[in-house]
Amino acid sequence: MKLVVLVKHVPDETVDRPLTDGVFADDLTVDREALTCRLGEPDEYAVEQAMRIARRRMDVQICVVTMGPPGAARALVRALALGADEAVHVVDDALHGSDAQATSLVLAAAVRRIGFDLVLCGTASTDSGMSVVPAMVAERLGVPVACEADAVWAGEDEVVVRRDAGPTTDDIALTLPAVVSVTERVGEPRYPAYRSVVEARGKVVRTWSLADLRIRPDEVGLGASATVVRSVTPYAGQGPALIVRGDARDAAERLASYLSEHQLI
């Protein structure tokens, strides 16, 4: 059984507060050179989930894939330390500024080339947080998709996921091959042992360019992006912390408004 985990090298929010200058480069893309980056936390849960499937079967091979600048290879090394067997890094200068369409095109091509039974990914990246790439990759591969799974069981030719559907909890079966994105509720990632960190250095990281995936450079990157960012303005309307003081009734009303505005209740 071949598991492919899609991961992303994202700015580490615990190191750099995103409120300072320097988040955005001159072309209004996120300036990854200037920020401390790490393997995305949701991706660690996906790698962990792959490890849990691998523990129950003999024939599982886990391959992690990322697309990003040369520095993104560090995310792959981390994923290898967490237990993945091999890694693929798609790196090409033309990829700079790719949007979700281009990203899904590249990742789908890479996954197809690797071959897969199950593709796992985190629900959303912690930087852009669009959470559409898993479904887009699945659509391009022509396989079923289940997003935001709270639990995953892999069978011989199907995968069953459990997810929260408001008043009910649904168990959904997908015929393999399939794509599944997992939430942080699937289970804490392990802390890698020193031994696996050392072993990760010996594992293979393959580097593919766009030409390897037979994708033309004009199909991806900033030029092919469907959205053109016009302006990025600091928004003072809502700081990191909204502090409500005063009368209890008034405070409760403002709190309830905040919660419903952010779709939390």
Subset of 84-143 contacting another protein (CB under 8 A): 99-101, 104, 128-136, 138-140, 142-143
User: Interface residues for another protein in 186-205 (CB under 8 A)?
Assistant: 188
Strand pairing class (178-182; 118-122): parallel
Is 19 a binding residue for another protein by CB under 8 A? The answer is: yes
Binding mask 41-80 for another protein (x = CB under 8 A): x---------------------------------------
Does 21 sit near another protein (CB under 8 A)? Answer: no
Q: Residue 36 interacts with another protein (CB under 8 A)?
A: no
Which has the closest alpha carbon to 102: 222, 228, 229? 222
Number of Cβ atoms within 10 Å of the Cβ of 226: 8
Residue 136 CB contacts under 8 Å (≥ 6 apart), including other chains: 100, 101, 103, 104, 108
The only residue of 193, 198, 204, 229 in contact with another protein, by rule CB under 8 A: 229
Spell out the residues 6+ positions from residue 22 whose beta carbon is closer than 8 angstroms to its own: 31, 34, 35
**Residue 66 or 104 having the CB closest to another protein:** 104
For another protein, how many residues bind (rule: CB under 8 A)?
84
260 binds another protein (CB under 8 A): yes
Q: How far is the CB of 155 from another protein (least distance, A)?
A: 11
How far is residue 94's CA from residue 247's CA, in Å, rounded to a whole number? 56
For the bound state, the minimum distance from the C-beta of residue 152 to another protein, rounded and expressed in Å, comes to 14
75, 184, 196, 220: residue in contact with another protein (rule CB under 8 A): 184
Q: How far apart are CA 247 and CA 241, in angstroms?
A: 19
Tokens encoding 26: 């001159």
CB of 180 to another protein, least distance (A): 11
Chain mean position to CA 73: 15
Phi-psi region of 52 (alpha: psi -120 to 50; beta: other; left: phi over 0): alpha
Q: Interaction with another protein in 152-181: which residues (CB under 8 A)? A: 160, 164-175, 178
